[in-house]
């Protein structure tokens, strides 16, 4: 496979599907779905293969592809992955592959357009995780954000116009601020070496003055932080989740929010001293995410809102893990990005499955569903337990690592964060009890369980991933670690210096 452009193929295969779908007739739904499944299968297969063949011992960026694009500005099509990106690419593949199946069940009109936007979005996400060129990084970042607008606006549920406007405006604001930071890096790095280039490896290899780092890290932190979402700029996310159709919520919470965290990781890598300066602040804000998000989730009655706030609460753990700047915490943060992505995709696919039939998501509208939809109930329970950090599921390992890492650097923060999982358990179990347990209601007698292969496949895949990583985390932690170690080493060197 030497020389095979594996990254390009992973990224471009959804894009190729989009182009292909342009020429397919709307009515030929089977062909449309077939193309979507085929392209995402290619990506998923290659992502798993990527995880296997990534050389952990060597570490660093591998599978590099570089084609000059605009020589005079120093822009090139430059892809490459390190351990962190490999995990993220795999996550993206998992979520989109299952998302395609979820959409199969959930989306009933304008199927072709739906898949086109979905796949377009995903190739943007892949691009962000793989790009080593700031221009392409930003381009893909926007490509991942913009299709959200039609996806929510056209196929969304209640309040979708409001949600999609808010989401797009917020994310564009973040992107714009981040762009300022990126451009500043471009010019500063260019002035240093005399060669103006957007090459991330080149830019990261330089060292900048401490004052400059502190100044420029802030727009990057804010810009990417909005997407994480960093409190108090989180309010686009629950609204967006709630209005979006299932597959979009899955991508949104499962992958898109990770783009923000990934952006912050890259910013930390480029500007280590700036990161060291701002990380205590991030740790503080992450607590707001955890505690405040959890509390708001507790008081919500709409399941999607509940999961939405819960996501922002969980992303708080990711931020806390990043803020620790030690091996354990950062590894935990990246693993949590992965685990939470899978878990939350499961959550939204399940809620979507129920919502598509019941047309309500209010907790108090349901009771005793476990009798009617046992499969969904079991899957939901697993999701709830994963979310509240039950051992045996991937989130536990990740949260444990974050806690251990955080306990070293910020013991007080860690205590609050650990308390956060009690909050999570509270609302998850309450939701589980109210919706799936207690006496069955007559009005839900004709609710259908997930029976067919297509309906069950996404749930089964996501649960299987949670269990595999939960039982034996080393499968993925090794790869993540190979990406985290150089990052943390660089950051720690900055701390001493």
Partner 1 sequence: MDIWALLIVPLAAALIITFITRKRAELSSYVSVGAVVICFLIVLPYFVRMLGNPHFEHIEQSFLWLDIPGLMVEMGTIIDPLSLIMLFIVTFVGSLIHIYSRNYMHGEKGYARFFASLSLFIFSMLGIVLANNFIMIFVFWELVGLASYLLIGFYFEKPSAADAAKKAFLVNRIGDFGFILGIFVLYYATGTFNFIEMAHIIQAGNVSSGTLGLAALLIFCGAMGKSAQFPLHVWLPDAMEGPTPVSALIHAATMVAAGVYMLARTGFLYAAAPQEAMMVIAYIGGITAFMAALLALGQSDIKRIIAYSTLSSLGYMVMSVGVGGTGAGMFYLMTHAFFKALLFLGAGSVIHACHTNDIWEMGKLYPKMKVTAVTFILGALAMMGIFPFSGFWSKDEILTSVFSSGNYLLFGVGVLTAGITALFMTKVVAVTFFGEKRYHSHPHESPVGMTIPLVVLAIFAVIAGFAGLPGLDPNFGTFVSAVAGSAAAHAGEHGAHAEHHFNYFVAITSTIAVFIGIIIGWLIYSKKSIDNNAIAEKFSGFYKALQNRLYIDHFYDRVIVAGIYNNIARLFNFIEVYIIIHFVLNGIAYVTRQIGKALRLTISGQLQHYAFAMVGGVLVLMIIFVLL
Q: Torsion angle, CA of 401/407/413/416, rounded to 10 degrees?
A: 70
Query: In this structure, are residues 428 and 363 in contact, taking their beta carbons and an 8 Å threshold?
Result: no
Nearer to partner 1, 190 or 368 (CB): 368
d(CA 363, CA 385): 18
d(CA 60, CA 231): 32
At 365 the three-state DSSP class reads helix
- What is the nearest approach in angstroms of partner 1 to the Cβ of residue 335? 10
Query: In this structure, are residues 391 and 472 in contact, taking their beta carbons and an 8 Å threshold?
Result: no
- What is the nearest approach in angstroms of partner 1 to the Cβ of residue 291? 8
Q: Is 448 left (phi over 0), alpha (psi -120 to 50) or beta?
A: beta
- What is the nearest approach in angstroms of partner 1 to the Cβ of residue 95? 24
Nearer to partner 1, 40 or 168 (CB): 168
Nearer to partner 1, 267 or 488 (CB): 488
Exposure string (b/e) for 52-89, b if CB count within 10 Å is 16 or more?
eebeeeebebbbebeeeeeeeebbbbbbbbbbbbbbbb
Angle CA 328–280–408, to nearest 5: 35
Query: In this structure, are residues 157 and 243 in contact, taking their beta carbons and an 8 Å threshold?
Result: yes
- What is the nearest approach in angstroms of partner 1 to the Cβ of residue 457? 16
Nearer to partner 1, 79 or 177 (CB): 177
- What is the nearest approach in angstroms of partner 1 to the Cβ of residue 77? 33
Nearer to partner 1, 42 or 432 (CB): 432
d(CA 266, CA 248): 25
- What is the nearest approach in angstroms of partner 1 to the Cβ of residue 328? 5
- What is the nearest approach in angstroms of partner 1 to the Cβ of residue 338? 14
Query: In this structure, are residues 342 and 397 in contact, taking their beta carbons and an 8 Å threshold?
Result: no
DSSP helix, strand, coil percent of the chain (3-state; round to 5): 80, 5, 20
Nearer to partner 1, 154 or 418 (CB): 418
**Nearest residue to 103 via CA among 15, 14, 29, 21:** 29
Nearer to partner 1, 37 or 379 (CB): 379
- What is the nearest approach in angstroms of partner 1 to the Cβ of residue 439? 5
Q: What residue ranges bind partner 1 (CB under 8 A)?
A: 166, 232, 235, 292, 295-296, 298-300, 326-328, 331, 368, 370-371, 385, 388, 390-392, 396-397, 400-401, 403-405, 407-408, 414-415, 418-419, 421-422, 425-426, 429-430, 432-433, 436-440, 472-474, 477-478, 481, 484-485
Nearer to partner 1, 247 or 253 (CB): 253
């Amino acid at each position: 496979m030497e020389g095979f452009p594996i990254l390009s193929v992973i990224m471009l295969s959804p894009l190729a599907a989009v182009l292909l779908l342009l020429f397919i007739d709307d009515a030929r739904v089977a062909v449309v779905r077939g193309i979507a499944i085929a392209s995402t299968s290619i990506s998923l297969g290659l992502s798993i293969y990527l995880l296997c063949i990534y050389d952990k011992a060597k570490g660093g960026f591998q599978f590099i592809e570089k084609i000059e694009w605009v020589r005079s500005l120093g822009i090139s099509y430059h892809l490459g992955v390190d351990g962190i990106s490999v995990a993220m690419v795999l996550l993206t593949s998992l979520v989109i592959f299952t998302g395609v199946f979820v959409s199969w069940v959930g989306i009933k009109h304008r199927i072709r357009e739906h898949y086109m936007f979905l796949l377009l979005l995903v190739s943007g996400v892949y691009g962000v995780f793989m790009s080593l060129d700031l221009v392409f990084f930003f381009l893909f970042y926007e490509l991942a954000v913009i299709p959200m607008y039609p996806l929510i606006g056209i196929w969304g549920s209640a309040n979708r116009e409001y949600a999609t406007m808010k989401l797009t405006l917020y994310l564009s604001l973040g992107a714009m601020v981040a762009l300022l930071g990126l451009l500043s890096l471009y010019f500063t790095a260019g002035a240093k070496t005399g060669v103006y280039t957007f090459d991330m490896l080149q830019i990261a290899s330089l060292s900048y003055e401490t004052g400059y780092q502190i100044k420029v890290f802030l727009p990057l932190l804010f810009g990417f932080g909005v997407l994480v979402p960093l409190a108090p700029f989180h309010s686009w996310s629950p609204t967006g989740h709630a209005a979006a159709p299932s597959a979009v919520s899955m991508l949104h919470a499962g992958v898109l929010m990770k783009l923000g965290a990934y952006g912050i990781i890259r910013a930390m890598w480029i500007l280590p001293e700036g990161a060291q300066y701002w990380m205590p602040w991030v740790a503080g804000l992450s607590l707001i995410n955890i505690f405040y998000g959890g509390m708001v989730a507790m008081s919500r009655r709409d399941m999607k809102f509940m999961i939405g706030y819960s996501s922002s609460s969980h992303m708080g753990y990711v931020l806390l893990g990043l803020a620790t700047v030690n091996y354990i915490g950062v590894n935990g943060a990246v693993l949590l990005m992965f685990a939470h992505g899978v878990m939350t995709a499961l959550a939204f696919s399940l809620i979507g499955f129920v919502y598509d039939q019941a047309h309500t998501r209010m907790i108090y509208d349901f009771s005793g569903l476990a009798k009617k939809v046992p499969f969904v109930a079991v899957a939901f329970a697993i999701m709830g337990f994963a979310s509240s950090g039950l051992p045996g599921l991937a989130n536990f390992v990740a949260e444990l690592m974050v806690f251990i890492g955080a306990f070293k650097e910020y013991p007080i923060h860690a205590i609050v964060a650990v308390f956060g999982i009690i909050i999570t358990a509270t609302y998850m179990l309450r939701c589980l009890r109210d919706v799936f347990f207690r006496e069955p209601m007559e009005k839900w007698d004709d609710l259908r369980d997930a029976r067919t292969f297509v309906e069950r496949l996404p749930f089964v895949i996501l649960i299987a991933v949670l269990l595999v990583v939960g039982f034996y985390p080393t499968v993925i932690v090794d790869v993540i670690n190979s990406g985290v170690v150089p990052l943390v080493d660089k950051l720690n060197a900055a701390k001493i210096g």
